[in-house]
């Protein structure tokens, strides 16, 4: 049994065949799905999807969509968290340093969400692109009680260690399957059993051999097999570790 710890199944990419996507995932052994919110406009769709027993809810404001966020959205996020206590984490939030023109605003938005998570004792789901060291420094300063997930981790073993020391786990997905990802693969081999979860980031983060195609949760089984090969461990052990870690992080019942 596997849990896809991060997948955007609310997006329009799945509108034409969402039930078939769920069915293929179940057929591949994926039985639970954690779906993050990205913008205020998308929250209702995520909340509606989380009415399904097999879906857990995250709510947050994603740094990729800065043009979609308004000054009032932090207050709206707090109100939505009040309305939906079933939310298992605050996210997807974070820093994407590829977009230098919005970096200052990204940091302000990220800090505001981290403070909400600390006040509410929620884990955070962090989008962190080309900013591992700076994000780790900020997380260390805030000392969040519940830690969280560094989604789509793509750093070094040393950077992974910094996040683990802060009570975070790292998310492993399609990026680990690409031949060029040598540094990331070294990090995968270095992780303790309780230091990672598996995710697809569907419809994004395609696996090697599937570039240009829509990603979906059924392919998490392939990620699991690949991680098993990298670590020299049985796929069943990788699946068990990931599932246990995801349940612990998000408080998902067995």
pLDDT tens column, 145-170: 999 999 999 999 999 999 999 999 99
Give me the pLDDT at residue 127, please: 98
Give me the pLDDT at residue 131, please: 98
Could you give the CA distance from residue 165 to residue 5 in angstroms, rounded to a whole number?
Answer: 20
DSSP 131: -
Give me the pLDDT at residue 62, please: 98
Give me the pLDDT at residue 39, please: 98
C-alpha angle 185-187-193 in degrees, rounded to nearest 5: 110
Could you give the CA distance from residue 85 to residue 239 in angstroms, rounded to a whole number?
Answer: 28
Give me the pLDDT at residue 174, please: 98
Give me the pLDDT at residue 147, please: 98
φ, ψ of residue 113 in degrees (nearest 5): -70, -40
- CB-based contacts of 146: which residues, under 8 Å, 6+ apart? 117, 121, 122, 123, 124, 167
- Matching residue, tokens 């349940």: 247
Ranges of residues in the chain whose predicted pLDDT is under 50: none
Give me the pLDDT at residue 20, please: 98
CA atoms within 13 A on the CB side of 227: 30
């Amino acid at each position: 049994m596997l849990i896809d710890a991060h997948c955007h199944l609310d997006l329009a990419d799945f509108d034409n065949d969402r039930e078939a996507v769920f069915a293929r995932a179940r057929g591949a052994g994926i039985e639970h799905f954690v779906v993050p919110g990205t913008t205020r406009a998308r929250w209702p769709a995520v909340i509606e999807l989380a009415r399904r027993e097999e879906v857990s809810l995250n709510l947050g404001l994603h740094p990729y969509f800065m043009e979609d966020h308004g000054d009032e959205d932090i207050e709206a996020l707090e109100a939505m968290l009040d309305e939906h206590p079933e939310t298992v984490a605050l996210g997807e939030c974070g820093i994407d340093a590829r977009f230098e023109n919005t970096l200052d605003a990204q940091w302000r938005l990220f800090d505001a969400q981290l403070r909400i998570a600390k006040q509410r004792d929620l884990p955070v789901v962090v989008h962190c692109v080309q900013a591992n060291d700076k994000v780790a420094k900020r997380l260390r300063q805030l000392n969040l009680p519940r830690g969280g997930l560094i989604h789509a981790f793509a750093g070094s073993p040393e950077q992974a260690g910094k996040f683990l020391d802060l009570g975070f786990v790292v998310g492993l997905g399609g990026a680990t399957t690409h031949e060029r990802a040598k540094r990331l693969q070294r990090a995968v081999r270095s992780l303790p059993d309780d230091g990672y979860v598996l995710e697809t980031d569907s419809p994004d983060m395609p696996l090697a051999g599937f570039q240009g195609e829509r990603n979906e949760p059924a392919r998490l089984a392939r990620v699991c097999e690949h991680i098993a090969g990298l670590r020299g461990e049985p796929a069943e052990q990788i699946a068990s570790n990931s599932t246990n870690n995801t349940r612990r992080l998000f408080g998902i019942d067995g």
